[in-house]
Amino acid sequence: MSLKLIITRHAKAESAGLGEPDHARHLAPRGRSDAAAIGRWLAATGHVPDLIICSDALRTRQTMDAIRGALPPSVEVVITRALYNADPGTILSLLTKATAPCVMVVAHNPGVGMLAQYLARRAPDAPAFDDYPTAATTVLRFDAADWALIDKGDVEAFATPADLV
């Protein structure tokens, strides 16, 4: 059995306003269109998650909503505060509780970028993979029957919004 993990950094967000907490930052107009483009790309390439685990920050939820616009309505969603600025270990810990064969994580850098780099058996030939810019998305496949057993995976796809124009 194989498992598939989609790791997405939130799309471009507005800067926090005076007195506005980082957690409440919303997507910039470019971020909304970039996230929608990533959703269309995932749907077109057949990388459709069964479950999305998303940080509860406003910008990640808005990113997820824009991506979901291109996905089937049956995709399950879990929103959790534990992913807000989470490190790779925390993300992996949450992932081990999943039972779906294809899981998408929508969260923040540096955690998601570091996780993608850690889990990739071989990095894709894309300079942006190292920087993991906003809305960067990696699709990894693991030969494992349980999320608790994943180690290194094969990168099936990597894209940024700039790749999709």
CATH code of 68's domain: 3.40.50.1240
**Long-range contacts for 82-88 (Cβ within 8 Å, ≥24 apart)?**
83/53, 83/54, 83/55, 83/56, 83/107, 83/108, 84/23, 84/55, 84/56, 84/57, 84/60, 84/108, 85/55, 85/111, 86/55, 86/111, 87/111, 87/114, 88/114, 88/115, 88/118
Give the pLDDT of residue 72. Answer: 95
**Entry pTM:** 0.97
Give the pLDDT of residue 165. Answer: 78
Averaged pLDDT in 10-residue chunks for the chain of 165 residues: 96 88 94 98 98 98 98 96 97 96 98 98 96 98 96 97 91
* Total residues belonging to the chain: 165
pLDDT tens, residue by residue, 93-118: 999 999 999 999 999 999 999 999 99
Give the pLDDT of residue 17. Answer: 79
Contact predicate 6/153, CB 8 Å:
no
- Domain hosting 87: range is 3-14+23-164
Total domain count, the chain: 1
